[in-house]
Amino acid sequence: MEKLYFTYNQIHSTMKDLADKLAKDNHKFDAIVTIASGGFIPARILKTYLSLPIYVIYMSLYSDETHQMIESVKNQIPVFSHPDSDITGKNILLLDEIDDTRTTLDICSKFLQNKKPAKLVVASMHNKLVVKSGFIDSSLPYYTGTDVENKWIVYPWELLDINEIK
Ligand code: 5GP
């Protein structure tokens, strides 16, 4: 699959665009919940604009009745990084770096909805232009920094050699 590279500067600008979109709609949040580990740096940049604490969800592979690990995103369960990450009654922004098949945002938004936040808004920095297999509840506002082509996106924090980005 063809690759598409983004620089830290491009990512920072896209997160500012996302922050502007949220501000334009007057959203107020108590916390950002981001998904490890791709969401870490976008969440940190967003914090610069929104001044919010960051909670983290780790996706953990679960085992079925036969206790076999199922190596599929669909069969992962979200777990909070910290017991203090109680979101009940809070205004929460769920953020991931990229919405590809939407499976992860589907699972994580349902996980958070079950915890009864006062408000839940879903956001991705990049929305890949592909047919989605996951769903975000239509009652949840959804924002994206920008749409991206259906290519494999390479983020700068994944590179061993940052000079690979021309
Ligand atoms: P999903 O398919 O569930 O929307 O995406 C799940 C996760 O897979 C994303 O949070 C991201 O970590 C990873 N992912 C999906 N597509 C890409 C891509 O094009 N590039 C990179 N680096 N990660 C991706």
pLDDT tens digits along 110-143 = 999 999 999 999 999 999 999 999 999 999 999 9
- How far is ligand 1, taken at its centre, from the CA of residue 99, in Å? 7
Q: Which residues pair with 57 in a beta bridge?
A: 35, 80
For the record, the structure tokens of 63 come out as 């085992």
83 half-sphere exposure, CB direction, 13 A CA radius: 0
Tell me the residue ranges of DSSP E strands in 49-157: 54-61, 76-80, 91-99, 119-128, 142-148, 152-154
Return the ligand 1 atom nearest residue 148 CA: 19
Q: For 14-58, what is each residue's pLDDT tens digit? A: 999 999 999 999 999 999 999 999 999 999 999 999 999 999 998
Tell me the catalytic residues.
Answer: 100
Residues with CB under 6 Å of ligand 1 are 35, 38, 73, 96-104, 152-153, 155, 158
Instruction: Look up the pTM and report it.
Output: 0.92
Residue 164 has pLDDT above 60, yes or no: yes
Q: How confident is the model at residue 67 (pLDDT cuts 50, 70, 90)?
A: very low
